[in-house]
Structure 1
């Protein structure tokens, strides 16, 4: 490994990413060092860049952002048993989480460290670009579906042939990155799925296994979902998108469902993130965010619905992460049960292209994910 490498660095709060030299990390126990082949960007990356001094106050700068990594193992730490040097892998980088070191563990650099238990082998025939779209999306979906504080679904053993009623999972926002993965994971675990999408993405969402797909922009979306559920037991809902929570609450209330996993805020931070100065523009934005969240939670409680926000990297510290990355994801990718989606759009090559990738993601992407190759 080289002693130093290039990284896309957030040098100070709200700055644009700059290319800087960083020390190449050595792996600690339970870690692998990866030579990065591709990274994908997520909305949380530009949220941190634009509002992190408020929303991620624990993250010091200079910082290396990014969660989605695919590449090749170049070093392994003590205790690592699942990987060897030379293995192609992809994984979830958690460097921007509280208590982590983003300069060692952030994705947006030529070499980074990944936790062994949040890393999986890249299947033959899957490129780094394709694999890089998965980590945060599939992890967030798994948290929503499988963590006990959210839907708490169990994964049906294919060898278990005993009759079991298939419950229904509602995924509002099926063409989002998390939504595509939530549909696939829920189906793989043995559940039916009903979902929403724009008309142009409806066929894609159906191809992932949703047996009912309605237009999320339709005034009758809730009625159509309830009709599509057709009396089947609803085990819970995953809300994706600014306006998704209210719709999910109504669907659950009318079908007897009682658990809601909220994976999106009810107010977008996109406009605020692009403002030259956070203050005073942040005051009304966060006031609306707080009020809408309070009202939606109150509405859920009145309907007898348990609602909680999903934190996509929280599986780092629980059995869901180890099971997903250690067994389920490798198996389901290998046999085609799960496809690496959304489809990637390559924004450019090199760490210098990552800022452009962030800009393109913030400008708006539908059913695709922006990737940079390194």
Structure 2
């Protein structure tokens, strides 16, 4: 099969890390063997893939040579392991995420991929492959932050907290117009929470369309104080940007009551009394330990509870797509060349307000 496979040496990756930019392409189209599935896995013919910033970060720095890149996919089941969970049949539509960029036989930017049967979901018939492919890393990040870390009720459990009219629980979603932000807004709303978010003014209508109750312009120096004045009892936040002063902004909102800020990048320890930071890494949902840039890079332990959370989320997702909708989709043509062009757009910061999807 054809697949996009990484080729940067460790020296080049460390240089890229130090420079904060990419030298060389780092990935190329290769002919490799179709993955061999285990008894608990299914084999998927990939029809569409969604792109994430993590894809170029893996290409530039993280991925060892010979790794298949890509996480988010939608496609068709073509083979099923004898013990695979999920009641799959050959020909079923399927979507989800895999831990792309670290392994020679597992990644979404390929003609075929393998995935455990219980870690994928079945899109409804009225959803396109492009839309289905978006429920990968971004959706999983929102689920992991809200349900697995902050203890917000699951979307299929009904209204778990009083909403705006009941002066009930509120949650802050920083950077609500990102894909992870839009999914987080919807999952929190499905649980009955009042959703407070930040965005640029040009994205106010977008985040409100996806369910945000109140949106603040993060450019304003008074924005954090304004949030506190209107929502003084917020005790949980998801920082979907996790750069610059975004996490400090969240901490300032929570400082009156204390609480937890879930971050997507490491922000160190909180300097705000009573406020805790917790880093999440979406790849922990696959249930295996991994390391970046071995032997010197960070190690991540296997988390069985996170794997169970992903299985639960994807099992319930087909029933939730009316209230947890895909983000706006921008389709790129060109197959594998289109993937490379799209990843480069993400690398250059040229994507806003939509999810890039490529049909294979």
Counterpart residue number, 1:324 = 313
Counterpart residue number, 1:182 = 184
- CA distance, structure 2, for counterparts of residue 162 and residue 338 of structure 1: 19
How far has the Cα of 1:160 moved from its partner?
Answer: 8.5
Counterpart residue number, 1:77 = 81
Counterpart residue number, 1:253 = 255
How far has the Cα of 1:16 moved from its partner?
Answer: 3.1
3-state SS, counterpart of residue 371 of structure 1: strand
TM-score scaled by structure 1?
0.80
How far has the Cα of 1:39 moved from its partner?
Answer: 0.8
The number of equivalent residue pairs is 320
Q: Which runs of 5+ in 1 are unaligned?
A: 53-58, 266-292
- CA distance, structure 2, for counterparts of residue 66 and residue 225 of structure 1: 37
- CA distance, structure 2, for counterparts of residue 209 and residue 234 of structure 1: 18
Counterpart residue number, 1:173 = 175
Q: Which structure 2 residues correspond to residues 276-287 of structure 1 after superposition, within 5 A? A: none
| Cα RMSD after superposing both structures | 2.2
Counterpart residue number, 1:195 = 197
- CA distance, structure 2, for counterparts of residue 373 and residue 119 of structure 1: 19
How far has the Cα of 1:162 moved from its partner?
Answer: 10
Counterpart residue number, 2:323 = 337
Sort the Cα spacing of 1:332 and 1:239 in 2 relative to 1 into closer, same or farther, 3 A.
same
Counterpart residue number, 2:27 = 17
8 Å CA contact 2:172, 2:238 repeated in 1: yes
Counterpart residue number, 1:311 = 281
Structure with the bigger RCO (C-alpha within 8 Å, sep 6+) is 1
Counterpart residue number, 1:94 = 99
- CA distance, structure 2, for counterparts of residue 203 and residue 132 of structure 1: 24
Counterpart residue number, 1:299 = 271
Deviations 1:38-88 (A, max 9, x none): 111111111111122xxxxxx531111111011111111122242111011
TM-score scaled by structure 2?
0.83
Q: Which runs of 5+ in 2 are unaligned?
A: 14-24, 288-304
8 Å CA contact 2:94, 2:123 repeated in 1: yes
Q: Which structure 2 residues correspond to residues 141-156 of structure 1 after superposition, within 5 A? A: 141-147=142-148, 150-155=149-154
Q: Is 1:47 paired with 2:48?
A: no
- CA distance, structure 1, for counterparts of residue 114 and residue 180 of structure 2: 24
Structure with the higher helix share, 1 or 2: 1
